[in-house]
């Protein structure tokens, strides 16, 4: 004899937990559940923002991770991390104190992204109308900074 569900051990509550868990598992397997793959523009924006925020927070290792392989050694050889970041962004750090440069880097944010195939031009904007540019390329399945440092 089959007992009614409400009289089974755990009752409706256990059945609901199992149903929710099964639904969540199916959702993960199917890759659905409302998660949308970020657009290419969003991916570029995120990579550029990661580079800038890593520089602003004084995390050169994280900044280097967003550079193409050929530029990683260049970054290390350009000079101290915040000054290397500035040069990669096309900002002349001469005459700026470290505190001023940190403030400038913290104020930068992605203003626009222009895509042309596997290359993206990113414009960054900061305080007092300051602008900077980065070029990113689709390399090894991710968007990485590929613009070399500008002369200081």
pLDDT band at 124 (very low <50, low <70, confident <90, very high): very high
Q: What rounded mean pLDDT belongs to the chain?
A: 82
The percentage of the chain sitting over the pLDDT mark of 70, rounded to a whole number, equals 77
- Which pTM does this prediction carry? 0.74
pLDDT of residue 16: 41
pLDDT of residue 14: 41
Contact 152, 94 (CB under 8 A): yes
pLDDT band at 32 (very low <50, low <70, confident <90, very high): low
Q: What is the average pLDDT across 64-80?
A: 91
Using alpha carbons, list the distances in angstroms from residue 85 to 1, 4, 29, 35, 92: 74, 68, 41, 33, 10
* Secondary structure E strands in the chain: 109-116, 119-125, 131-139, 142-145
Residue 88: name the closest of 54, 46, 41 by CA.
54
**β-pair partners for 131:** 125
**Both structure tokens of 1:** 């004899």
Q: What is the average pLDDT across 17-36?
A: 52
Q: Which domains does the chain have, with CATH numbers?
A: 40-145 (3.10.450)
Greater confidence, 127 or 38? 38
């Amino acid at each position: 004899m089959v007992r009614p569900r409400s009289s089974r051990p755990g009752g409706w509550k256990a059945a609901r937990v199992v149903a929710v868990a099964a639904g969540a598992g199916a959702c993960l397997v199917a890759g659905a559940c409302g998660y949308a793959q970020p657009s290419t523009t969003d991916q570029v924006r995120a990579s550029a923002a990661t580079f800038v925020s890593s520089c602003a927070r004084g995390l050169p290792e994280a900044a280097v991770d967003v550079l193409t392989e050929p530029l990683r050694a260049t970054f290390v050889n350009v000079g101290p991390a915040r000054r290397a970041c500035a040069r990669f962004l096309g900002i002349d750090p001469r005459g700026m104190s470290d505190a001023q440069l940190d403030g400038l880097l913290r104020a930068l944010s992605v203003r626009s992204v222009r895509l042309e195939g596997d290359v993206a031009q990113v414009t960054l904007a900061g305080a007092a109308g300051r602008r900077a540019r980065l070029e990113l390329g689709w390399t090894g399945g991710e968007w990485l900074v590929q613009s070399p440092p500008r002369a200081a």
